[in-house]
Structure 1
Amino acid sequence: MSVKAHIPNIITLLNLFCGSIAVIFAVQSNFVFAAIFVFLGIFFDFFDGFFARKLNVSSEIGLQLDSLADMVTSGLVPGIVMFKLISLAIDAPAFAETTTDWNSMFHFNGFKVSFLPLLGLLITLGSCYRLAKFNLDIEQQSYFKGLPTPANALLILSLPLIIEFQNSNTITTIILNPWFLIGLTFFSCYILNSKVKLFALKFKDYSFTNNKVRYIFLMLCVLCLILLHFAAIPVIIIFYILLSLISK
């Protein structure tokens, strides 16, 4: 096997490496660095497929390796981050007073865990199920069924970044509302595994006619990022879903 055949797999392993580092930071509640390494992992995730196509070295092991790496970077990390965010939300004084009955705390040899934040890990389960389905689905070449796991990871990781950098008490209050976070968790699991067809950012050529929706989407992304900064990420995800529905 030639050296070039290993290049996409090496890039995929860099995705997994970044995702593993992001897990460490997420567990430590260092959301900014967790997000940075998730972004790097997603960057490598995009280019492993790009180089596999350019070098014509696509393989079955590459497909499996890609999903395994995504499971960590785009599945495990957002689940941990949501777990942490819900934990922060239920510790807020305005909410803690009303949750003593149904948000019970379990103790085991000094280890304490609250039940409600564990719902955040449903994102990890939903991501795993989606990736397993994707590996068996031969139709998803020019489009995706449901939201891709990297896009979902960006959505979840954007929340602590918005809190950290947007400096908006109103937005922070909304994000750290437990009902919002729990609702987003269930929505995330649904949209990951829905049958909604979403366009893929794969260009067979670069003509505007054949890629009209993709170019419009990319222009909207740039505009939103300039105007809204990190708050643009949830807006971009909504645009992505709406444009996909309209284009179909």
Structure 2
Amino acid sequence: MNMIKQIPNIITSLNILCGCVAVLFAVSGDLITAAFFVFLGIFFDFFDGLAARLLKAQSEVGLQLDSLADVITSGVAPGVIMFQLFNLSYFHQMQTLTETFSLEGWNISFKNYLPLIGLLIVIASAYRLAKFNVDTRQTSGFIGLPTPANTLLILSLPLILQFQYSELAETIILNQWFLIGMTVLSCILLNAEIPLFALKFKTWDFKSNAVRYVFLILCVVLLVLLKFLAIPFIILLYILLSLFKHKDH
């Protein structure tokens, strides 16, 4: 029986493992594999809470472990990925100024402190998770963008570059000012006093879950039409629908 009660914590531990592996790949510059492991970690993050509710195994230890897992998978990993995007931006700029890369360019990049701005996402995510643990207002919804949603927003950038490449996308995403803006916006959204609905279904009827059903349907449509480009629009849609739902109440 005790082993069954530990199943949610085991799932959370898999989230931690995925987050650590994602960080290792991100540090090595393999952002696509890092993104895969972050996605896998977020998958485990969703199912640990579901397993805890089904098995009636909620515990204070599980709550704290879940937050620690999120700090890695949805805090450190996206922060390092943004750090590497800044590095890519730097080399992209150097490539436009000189026709060829050289190993000396890598040495120069480590003298460029601008990429460290990306690590602000780690701090903002950790602060957001700490607030979540003590904020009694967030039992049925969220105040501020959840860290997994913010992580998906950051992950969409290298995925767009890799799988939906265009010169316009490269010009925008690898612009240092765009990356600075995205980092600042990310940190603000994580900790803003914006009420957002949760995707937890207590019942399956349409009336009490209309916003959730509409959101999920629109997500599917956007993903089919735009693929990874849909992710920023989905985050925007999530915020707008949440504001509409809150205003309606």
> Given the two structures, how large is their TM-score scaled by the length of structure 1?
0.92
CA distance in 2 between counterparts of 1:96 and 1:77 reads 29
**Aligned equivalent of 2:188:** 190
Give 1:218's aligned amino acid. L
Determine if contact 1:90/1:96 at 8 Å carries over to the other structure.
Answer: no
Query: Residue 206 of structure 1: SS of its match in structure 2?
Result: coil
* Aligned-pair CA distance for 1:113: 3.6
- Structure 1 vs Structure 2 CA RMSD: 1.9
Give 1:170's aligned amino acid. L
Percent of aligned pairs with the same amino acid: 58
Query: Residue 213 of structure 1: SS of its match in structure 2?
Result: helix
* Aligned-pair CA distance for 1:93: 3.2
* Aligned-pair CA distance for 1:213: 0.4
Task: Go from structure 1 to structure 2 and tell me whether the alpha carbon gap of 1:171 and 1:65 turns closer, same or farther (over 3 Å shift).
Answer: same
CA distance in 1 between counterparts of 2:74 and 2:136 reads 21
CA distance in 2 between counterparts of 1:136 and 1:84 reads 32
Runs of 4+ in structure 1 over 6 Å off: 94-97
Query: Residue 29 of structure 2: SS of its match in structure 1?
Result: coil
Per-residue CA shift, 1:106-150, capped at 9, x if unaligned?
x9xx99342111000000000010011111112212110000001
**Aligned equivalent of 2:100:** none
**Aligned equivalent of 2:138:** 140
Give 2:84's aligned amino acid. K
Give 2:20's aligned amino acid. S
The within-5 A match list for 1:218-233 is: 218-233=216-231
**Aligned equivalent of 1:204:** 202
* Aligned-pair CA distance for 1:220: 0.7
* Aligned-pair CA distance for 1:235: 0.9
Matched residue count: 238
Determine if contact 2:16/2:72 at 8 Å carries over to the other structure.
Answer: yes
Determine if contact 1:9/1:65 at 8 Å carries over to the other structure.
Answer: yes
CA distance in 1 between counterparts of 2:175 and 2:95 reads 8
Indicate yes or no: 2:49 matched with 1:43.
Answer: no
Per-residue CA shift, 1:14-51, capped at 9, x if unaligned?
00010010001100110111000000000000000011
Gaps of 5+ in 2: 98-104
Task: Go from structure 1 to structure 2 and tell me whether the alpha carbon gap of 1:193 and 1:96 turns closer, same or farther (over 3 Å shift).
Answer: farther
CA distance in 1 between counterparts of 2:170 and 2:45 reads 30
**Aligned equivalent of 1:213:** 211
CA distance in 2 between counterparts of 1:48 and 1:15 reads 9
Determine if contact 2:87/2:109 at 8 Å carries over to the other structure.
Answer: no
**Aligned equivalent of 2:69:** 69
* Aligned-pair CA distance for 1:214: 0.3
Query: Residue 6 of structure 2: SS of its match in structure 1?
Result: helix
Gaps of 5+ in 1: 98-104
Indicate yes or no: 2:154 matched with 1:168.
Answer: no
Task: Go from structure 1 to structure 2 and tell me whether the alpha carbon gap of 1:6 and 1:172 turns closer, same or farther (over 3 Å shift).
Answer: same
**Aligned equivalent of 2:80:** 80
**Aligned equivalent of 2:124:** 126
Give 2:169's aligned amino acid. I
CA distance in 2 between counterparts of 1:167 and 1:189 reads 26
Per-residue CA shift, 1:210-247, capped at 9, x if unaligned?
10000000001100110001111111111001110111
Task: Go from structure 1 to structure 2 and tell me whether the alpha carbon gap of 1:242 and 1:191 turns closer, same or farther (over 3 Å shift).
Answer: same
Give 2:123's aligned amino acid. L
CA distance in 1 between counterparts of 2:110 and 2:182 reads 25
**Aligned equivalent of 1:27:** 27
